[in-house]
Amino acid sequence: MWTTAKDFEDIRYETTENGQIAKITINRPEVRNAFRPLTVKELLLAFHLAHEDPKVGVVILAGEGDMAFCAGGDIKVRGDEGYVGDDGVPRLNILDVQKVIRSMPKPIVAMVSGFAIGGGHVLHVVCDLTIAADNAIFGQTGPKVGSFDGGFGASYLARHVGQKKAREIWYLCRQYSAQEALDMGMVNTVVPLADLEKETLQWCREMLQHSPLALRCLKAGFNADLDGQAGIQELAGNATLLYYMSAEAQEGRDAWKEKRKPDFGKFPRLP
Ligand SMILES: CC(C)(COP(=O)(O)OP(=O)(O)OC[C@H]1O[C@@H](n2cnc3c(N)ncnc32)[C@H](O)[C@@H]1OP(=O)(O)O)[C@@H](O)C(=O)NCCC(=O)NCCSC(=O)CCC(=O)c1ccccc1C(=O)O
């Protein structure tokens, strides 16, 4: 049912439903799908492929196996200045993945079974929607393991669950069941583990029935206030896209190409 669209080492990138649904799976189950620099590099490339492919309408982010969605940064390769890959350079580049998830103009659905912990928890937080299996466990560990995400991991989480709960999650580093996550508004639904992919695909199919431009502008609108100038840039970029598609903008382009004065007088100045 899934077709491999490109081969990677640490992740899988697959599509289904005539290429309309893409699935990016972190494939390191032996470390509960913790990410190392290579994983992050591959995630960035896979998200770029999904972004650029006009057939893809919705993207699923998942972890291999039932035990974990993602256990965050791979602590075993954490050096003194970040996570160290084969090139010996320390990086904190999962932040780039968070930004890509937010700015991709297509819905991204986290499909969570097992642990979504630390930086792995933040990944589901920044996705548009989260479908959780009934075995899912959520939590932050930063203050326990010498890390923290004061960016989206804190501020956007607080938008989901409120300031008090978000501070509890970060300050106490407790783990929460799927039902608790649902009750606090952190996930969209909880389903039996056996139904997780079926239900996630159903949500994706429903979104695919709807106007891609409407979904795109809604995503930019939801992000805009929290993302400051960058959020306004996203939203305004969509307005420009829509404007390009209008006869009014095309008149400006055509007039310039035809070396004549544009006739904007024929377009209404709506109230
Ligand atoms: C996830 C657990 C709760 C799972 O527990 P359990 O099922 O009992 O399995 P274990 O036996 O513990 O683990 C199995 C196996 O996996 C290895 N493993 C698990 N998690 C990691 C990990 N994060 N890194 C490396 N390896 C991991 C574990 O060692 C076992 O292998 P062995 O060979 O048997 O040793 C539990 O495993 C657990 O609590 N894991 C740690 C989770 C955690 O603390 N994650 C947070 C890491 S810090 C982080 O994510 C930073 C956030 C971040 O990315 C970030 C934020 C802000 C700015 C920048 C950054 C950035 O880029 O780093």
Q: What pLDDT, in 10s, does the model give residues 33-57?
A: 999 999 999 999 999 999 999 999 9
Contacts (Cβ under 8 Å, ≥6 apart) of 152: 98, 102, 122, 125, 126
Q: Which atom of ligand 1 is nearest to the CA of 93?
A: 62
Residue set of the binding site? 32, 83, 115-119, 140-142, 147, 244, 259
80: helix, strand or coil: coil
To the nearest whole percent, how much of the chain has pLDDT over 70?
Answer: 100
Residue keyed to tokens 């290429």: 19
Chain mean pLDDT for the chain? 97
Pocket of ligand 1 (CB under 6 A): 31-32, 34, 71-76, 83, 92, 94-95, 115, 117-119, 141, 145, 147, 149
The 10s digit of each residue's pLDDT in 170-191 is: 999 999 999 999 999 999 999 9
> Looking at residue 78, what DSSP letter applies?
B
* Entry pTM: 0.96
What is the residue extent of each domain of the chain? 3-208, 212-259
Confidence of residue 80 (pLDDT cuts 50, 70, 90): very high
Candidates 1.10.10.10, 3.90.226.10, 3.40.50.1370, 3.30.230.10; CATH matching 3-208: 3.90.226.10
Residue set of the binding site for substrate? 32, 83, 115-119, 141, 147, 244, 259
Q: Which atom of ligand 1 is nearest to the CA of 67?
A: 7
Domain at 212-259: CATH code: 1.10.12.10
Residue keyed to tokens 């560990």: 141
Please, what is the Cα angle at 102 between 62 and 85, to 5 degrees? 60
